[in-house]
Structure 1
Amino acid sequence: MCLGIPGEVVELNTEQPDLAKVNVSGVKRAINIGLLEGESVEPGDWILIHVGFALSKIDEDEAEAALNFLKGIGQDYEDELDALRHSQIE
């Protein structure tokens, strides 16, 4: 199963503006935000992530609801987090 997971932008990469450090349930990774071209992305913003790419910005309430749902589905969510832990985007 492929999931879109909410993550909070922690830091923007000034040397590579298409990358941002994002916190996803305690896992911090560089995420490509290039698909959000034309949108303002700042630390504290929430984004929906799939396979290392930000698909859209979402608000905090939507992020919380999605995280609660994902935690409820169990193993698929844990598998997605494990894949994120082992990803390397540079």
Structure 2
Amino acid sequence: MRFLPRWDSSLLAHADRSRILPEEHRKTVIRKNGDVLPSFLVDGFVAGTWGVEDGRVQLESFEPLPRDVRRALNFEARALAEFCA
């Protein structure tokens, strides 16, 4: 699974989230009020956030992603959008 939902337990249940969430991006994913944004994984690490807008999954990566990774994410994002519709 590459897409994690809002408030995913893998990000909520651990005091040390650095195993999957780089510290420099923690405040982007986990807000002050405890809100945990939907995120996606690349090679087992959170690499960005996602949301659904106008029936499409929108990806916001923390860093530029290689073309093959972006292609795989977009393929999965289309399937997720169909599921959410």
- Normalising by structure 2, what TM-score? 0.42
| Bigger relative contact order, structure 1 or 2 (CA pairs below 8 A, ≥6 apart) | 1
